[in-house]
Amino acid sequence: MKIAFATLGCKVNQYDTAIMEEEAKSISCEIVPFDEEAEVYVINTCTVTGRSDYQSRQLVRRAFNKNKGCKIVVTGCYAETGIEELSRMDGVEAIIGNAGKNNIKRYLEGLKELEGQSTSIGEKIYKGPLDQPMIKRFSGRTRAFLKVQDGCDSGCSYCIIPKVRGKSRSLPPDKVIEQARLFEQEDFKEIVIAGIHLGSYGKDLLPKMDLSDLLTRMVEKTSIPRIRISSIDPNEVDERLLSLILSSDRICRHLHIPIQSGDDMTLRRMKRGYSSSYYRDLIIHIKERMPDIGIGTDVIVGFPGEDEEAFESSFRLLDSIPVDFFHVFSFSPRAGTEAASAPGRVTKVVMEQRSLVMRDLGRKKGQQFRSKFVGRCLTLLIEDERDQPTGLLKGYSDNYLKILIEGNDNLNGSLVTVKIEGVNGNNLVGRPNSAPG
């Protein structure tokens, strides 16, 4: 049976898809690219914004148009919230909630029995420590994502994710080490530690532990050259974590710390649990300790009640602090969240204007950060695919700078030290250099 997978959304979703791919292979399925004709299409969806819902439905339509006789399995977060819409779509044979992903093999084996009837397969989101199959491969990736945490207890007023992924659950540390060693055996040079609310790692375990405890164990018990931390909230970046990054040459000098808004009233309505001054002081402190660290952030524009003064407060704050990479989102109301019915809705036109302004600021700050490294040496992990349209090899430094170099494909998947010669748009350009970075 030919089967194709598509994934939308976060690194956790991408790890979940890797598990499903291995489960499919275990019952002799042939994995083919999503744009090829397959008998079964599995779409791992996202519902963090209205656009994510739309993209999920578009993938369903693409699959059906590719092969009108196919069977489509929809899973992920939109499968939790969009059952009615999905069940009406052509080709959809099964809708599986997040908790059912680990049982994808059973569902695939049972597709023959569905006889064209769209079926919603619901499973209660489980409690207790996170449990998931071990995988050996992470197809199509130079770096491997490792999900160590799922769910969220935060209750931000705009976010539907706690309702579709349940409470925070952590993968026990011995399981994390076991999975990391499997990736190590497959010669991955970098592991990205991922979670829905990564900073809450370990609070549900007995005995309790935290992310720094886990990272310390990974450094001690594995030899993976690079360990990268994915998104983490501001109030979960503490001195111990910073000291660990500073003292280890294997933990990447890169943090993604969402701010969402730089206006205090908006942050309170979002229920984010920190102030703009707290965020400002944290970023400045991190950069004072590690000037070369790359810091990314998420920003939401157009949250209900965000007037022009509030937006300007956000802009001024982000303009004044050394944040290097921006992800900018327009507010998207999610049914079932507090913010969905909040007064003071911002028009689409205004949100689009504010998004452009904030993205322009992000580009400017990214250029400033990249320019600091011209003439210096950095080590990058070469990706498996070349950059388009330049045709050059591409890779990322530990502080998340994209770098282009000339070279042969035998460098793919390897760590290469290069001297940075210039900036080309959003990329740095370098040449191989034997000197240490």
CATH of the domain at 24: 3.40.50.12160
102 and 162 in a single domain? The answer is no
The rounded distance, in Å, linking the Cα atoms of 421 and 411 is: 19
* Statement to judge: residues 100 and 181 lie in one domain: no
pLDDT of residue 435: 42
User: In this model, does residue 119 exceed pLDDT 80?
Assistant: no
pLDDT tens for 204-231 read 999 999 999 999 999 999 999 999 999 9
In angstroms, rounded to a whole number, what is the distance separating the alpha carbons of residues 381 and 411?
9
The pLDDT confidence band at residue 102, using thresholds 50, 70 and 90, is confident
Strands in 169-170's sheet, in edge-to-edge order, are 169-170, 144-150, 190-195, 226-229
The neighbour count for residue 36, using CB atoms within 10 Å, is: 10
Q: Domain ends where: 86, 121, 156?
A: 121
Q: How confident is the model at residue 196 (pLDDT cuts 50, 70, 90)?
A: very high
Query: Are residues 46 and 132 both part of a single domain?
Result: no
pLDDT of residue 120: 57
pLDDT tens-digit readout, 171-182: 999 999 999 999
Residue 23 has pLDDT above 60, yes or no: yes
For residue range 3-20, what is the model confidence (pLDDT) as tens digits? 999 999 999 999 999 999
Q: Which residue range is the domain that position 65 belongs to?
A: 2-121
| pLDDT mean over 359-383 | 97
pTM equals 0.93
For residues 165 and 138, membership in a common domain is answered with yes
CATH number, domain containing residue 384: 2.40.50.140
Map tokens 């995988």 to a residue: 135
Could you report the per-residue pLDDT of 128-143, keeping only the tens digit for each? Answer: 789 899 998 887 778 9
CATH classification of the domain holding 270: 3.30.750.200
Average of pLDDT values for 152-173?
94
% residues pLDDT > 90 (the chain) = 87
pLDDT value for 141? 78
Query: Do 288 and 220 share a structural domain?
Result: no
Does position 436 have pLDDT exceeding 50, yes or no?
no
Q: Which of 94, 121, 148 is the last residue of a domain?
A: 121
- The answer to whether position 437 is within a domain reads no
Q: How confident is the model at residue 381 (pLDDT cuts 50, 70, 90)?
A: very high
User: Same domain for 203 and 259?
Assistant: no
pLDDT tens sequence across 56-71: 999 999 999 999 999 9
Q: What is the 3-state secondary structure (H, E, C) of 127-178?
A: CCCCCCCCCCCCCCCCCEEEEEEECCCCCCCCCCHHHHHCCCEECCHHHHHH
Q: 207 lies in a domain?
A: yes
**pLDDT recorded at residue 437:** 38
3-state secondary structure of 356: helix
Q: In this structure, are 320 and 408 located in the same domain?
A: no
- Overall domain count for the chain: 4
Same domain, 330 and 264: yes
Are 207 and 289 contained in the same domain? no
Can you tell me whether residue 123 is helix, strand or coil?
Answer: coil
